Amino acid sequence: MARDEKIGESLLTSASGLRIRFAVYLLVFAVYLLNRSPFVHFHDSAGFLSDALAGFSQATNATNHLLFNNFQHVLLLIFPFADPVLVLSLGVIVSSMITLILLEYWIREMTGNALYGIAGMSIMALSFTWWQQTEIIEVYAFNAMMFLLYVVPAFLDIRDGHRGRGILAAVFFGLSHLVHIQHILSWPFFVYYLLTGKSKAGTRWSMLLTAATIAGVLFLIQHFYPVNSISAIFFDSGFRDEVLGFQPVELIRGMIRTIAIIIYNFHIFLIFIPAGLMVLYKSRNRKIFYALAFLLLSFLGFGSKFNVPDNHVFFVPAWLALAVVMAHGMKKWKNLLEKIPVYFLAMVLVMSPLVYGSAWLTARQLPLFEEYQEEKEYKGGVAHIFWPGKAHAKDPLEMAKERLLNPALRDSLPEWNYCASAKCLILLGRWDGEMPRACKKQ
């Protein structure tokens, strides 16, 4: 066993190493709890809450997230005595923690080093987009968990040269489409996984049919419960042009935006990416490099093409793959990192909060952001842009109730999800009036 692998193995198996790993997870969990929004957040969060309160749903459109919405309703049925916002928020945090555990396992299995596993996981855990999406009621933590549930067994098979975990990967790959249609971007990766490695033709066909049949439930449900069109399964009509259109200028802007997002998410840790790609390309099992390339190109490419204000959430699967790349890049600095593993982990855990906090405090002092601070005060002002935590935001349900009680404002639509918030108030029994007329027209 190589010397750096011995260090990693020691960190994995020793009593002190296990305590360190437990402390890292506990710290990350505490950060999420302290920074979570105590209220339902704005925009999609209010819609997810209202859907979960309303009951089970058969809608299969791209913005409905069939499996996630119904899972959230089940959580409310299991915990009827608790605050629904708290239940769903904790559900997201738990999904996030499970994803991070899977990510650490994936990295550890790919690198053979527990230090790289816990470090790569920590970089992901405190990256801006991931941290932000863990603090609100959103689909992306649950969606990432489903992503790793098929990606991890697939990569273990690619490493081992067979497809013994193929049916397991195919089942979760099919199910993932019921969480978010974004997983169709993984089909190039899945086909590559399907066609490479040692396996019988029957196994390959079984994997393909299993994944396709489970994913096809979206179309089967739509056939019996035609609440939306077939095209709505793939993309929301409001963003059809962004998905299908081609405008070179917008594509260039999207690529620039993607680079900026990567820099803000990973800042100093970007140094590990080129080294990691080189290590993977030169490895004896180059198929791992190609498999990661399929994932990165698909999700980074789509996110760059789908250039909307919050498109950074579509990069989450790519961030998970980049965490694996960065962990391999750490091998280039193994002679240093193996000597200071605890100090290295401490730096990893401190660096991202320091970068985001510094950016937030600096932006507050700049005249450029004065207008934004005032206009978006209800979201936390500039903190909404630079700090991933959401504990500073106001309560949209209270803001909605104030509008409902004011005849002059009741039927005007603000930029945030007023209609979903009003529906939540009705479902929670906090408003006994009707939905605003402006919302009925939507």
Better-scored residue on pLDDT, 305 or 262: 262
pLDDT of residue 243: 54
pLDDT range class, residue 3, cuts 50, 70, 90: very low
When pLDDT is cut at 50, 70 and 90, the band that residue 10 belongs to is low
Tell me the average pLDDT across 385-393.
91
Q: pLDDT category, 81, cuts 50, 70, 90?
A: very high
Contact 228, 61 (CB under 8 A): yes
Which tokens go with 126?
A: 């405190």
| pLDDT score at 310 | 73
- Max distance between CA atoms of the chain, in angstroms, equals 73
Residues 6 or more apart whose CB falls under 8 angstroms from that of 379 comprise 42, 393, 394
**Do the beta carbons of residue 207 and residue 32 sit within 8 Å?**
no
More confident residue, 426 or 439: 426
CA 98/CA 283 separation, integer angstroms:
29
Sequence-ordered strand ranges (E) for 350-396: none
Reported as a pLDDT band with limits 50, 70 and 90, residue 230 is confident
Is the per-residue pLDDT at 4 higher than 50? no
What mean pLDDT is predicted for residues 370-378?
86
The C-alpha atoms of residue 224 and residue 60 are separated, in whole angstroms, by: 11
- Please report the pLDDT score of residue 135 as a whole number: 95
**If DSSP codes are grouped into helix, strand and coil, which group holds residue 407?**
coil
Query: Residue 428: which residues within 8 A CB-CB, separation 6 or more?
Result: 53, 84, 397
* Over residues 326-333, mean pLDDT: 93
Number of Cβ atoms within 10 Å of the Cβ of 388: 24
Please check the confidence at residue 117 and state whether its pLDDT lies above 70. yes
**Which residues are 198's β-sheet partners?**
162
Q: Is the pLDDT of residue 48 over 50?
A: yes
Share of the chain above pLDDT 90, in %: 62
Give the pLDDT mean for 365-376: 87
Q: Are 99 and 145 in contact (CB under 8 A)?
A: yes
> Is 376 a residue whose pLDDT tops 90?
no
Among candidate residues 99, 176, 93, 98, the one with its CA nearest the CA of residue 136 = 93
Helix 114-125 / helix 341-365 crossing angle, nearest 10 deg: 10
**Helical spans, DSSP H, in 36-160:** 44-54, 66-78, 84-111, 114-125, 128-134, 140-160
Residue 105 vs residue 303, higher pLDDT: 105
Q: What angle is formed at CA 303 by the lines to CA 302 and CA 309, rounded to 5 degrees?
A: 140
Give phi and psi for 162, each to the nearest 5. -135, -175
Tokens of 116: 């790289």
The pLDDT of residue 216 is 92
User: What residues does each domain of the chain span?
Assistant: 3-362, 371-440
Question: Is 37:390 a contact under the CB 8 Å cutoff?
Answer: yes
- Residue whose C-alpha is closest to residue 232's, from 57, 60, 413, 429: 60
Q: How confident is the model at residue 379 (pLDDT cuts 50, 70, 90)?
A: confident
pLDDT tens digits for range 402-425: 999 998 888 888 888 899 999 999
Check whether 266 has a pLDDT greater than 50: yes
Q: Is the confidence at residue 249, as pLDDT, over 90?
A: no
Per the model's pLDDT, the better-predicted residue between 64 and 309 turns out to be 64
Q: Which two tokens stand for residue 80?
A: 């009827």
Mean pLDDT (whole number) for 318-335:
93
pLDDT in tens, 158-217: 999 999 999 999 999 999 999 999 999 999 999 999 999 888 889 999 999 999 999 999
